[in-house]
Amino acid sequence: MADAHAHPHDHGHDHAHDHGPAQEHSADRPGPLADAAVRTGRPSDGPAVGFVQAFVYQHEYAGTLPAEALAAMTGPQLGSVWRRSLEQPPTPRHRLLVATAGATVVGYAAIGPAGDEPGLEPAGATAMIYDGGVHPEARRSGHGSRLLNAAIDTLRAGDSAGTLVAVATWVLADAASTRAFLQDAGFSPDGAWRDRVVDDEGGTAREVRLVSRLDEP
């Protein structure tokens, strides 16, 4: 979530603030940068998040994913997935945060529990940033940093048991700017990698895992 951090995942999240239809469907025009903020999202944000995600994918995955796969990642298609997952999040700990410029959604970050991923701390000790991105035309304006800070703060606030010690995320191995952004923010590669299937032909994209320790200064 530098100013771009995208994964083809479908994760649910539960949250707040409505848009008029114009804002929900105008992520190709990020709008004014005044009144930049981060807030939680809800089902009505699905279309806007879908449009932002589609633009992020087109920008970040060009040259990595097949053109046919990218063409299938449309705003309406992704937006309907977001709406459904927001209406029925997997758990109360699954959250969606959205970055706004004025009334327009320009970025998003999906967060929640890490589950049983190999090589991570015991259950409950690690949280995940599943997916995130900032519209290409709204970058270099601090939205990525605000989203990342809000994600960490939200994960800490939801740690009622006091067991959270780390936050992890997966990024494309060749996404140099995103990796640099996250590493500058305290994330480090932990040596884990995976090849994610990204199209119907079995094509893959290499991802690496970055982890930020919250129990270290």
- Give me the domain span that covers residue 125: 4-25+32-213
> What was the pLDDT predicted at 146?
95
Higher-scoring residue by pLDDT: 174, 47: 47
Neighbouring-strand partners of residue 193 = 208
Higher-scoring residue by pLDDT: 82, 8: 82
> What was the pLDDT predicted at 86?
94
Which run of H or of E encompasses 40? strand 37-40
Residues contacting 140, CB < 8 A, separation 6+: 3
Q: What is the CA radius of gyration of the chain?
A: 16
Residue 174 has pLDDT above 90, yes or no: no
The CATH number of residue 44's host domain is: 3.40.630.30
Query: pLDDT tens for residues 7-23?
Result: 434 333 333 333 332 23
> What was the pLDDT predicted at 34?
58
Query: pLDDT tens for residues 191-215?
Result: 999 998 877 778 788 999 999 999 8
Task: Phi first, then psi: give them for residue 44, nearest 5 degrees.
Answer: -65, -15
**Structural domain count, the chain:** 1
Q: How far, in Å, CA of 73 to CA of 42, rounded?
A: 21
> What was the pLDDT predicted at 20?
30
Q: Give yes or no for a contact between 30 and 77, defined as CB atoms under 8 angstroms apart.
A: no
- Model pTM score: 0.81
> What was the pLDDT predicted at 95?
95
> What was the pLDDT predicted at 1?
53
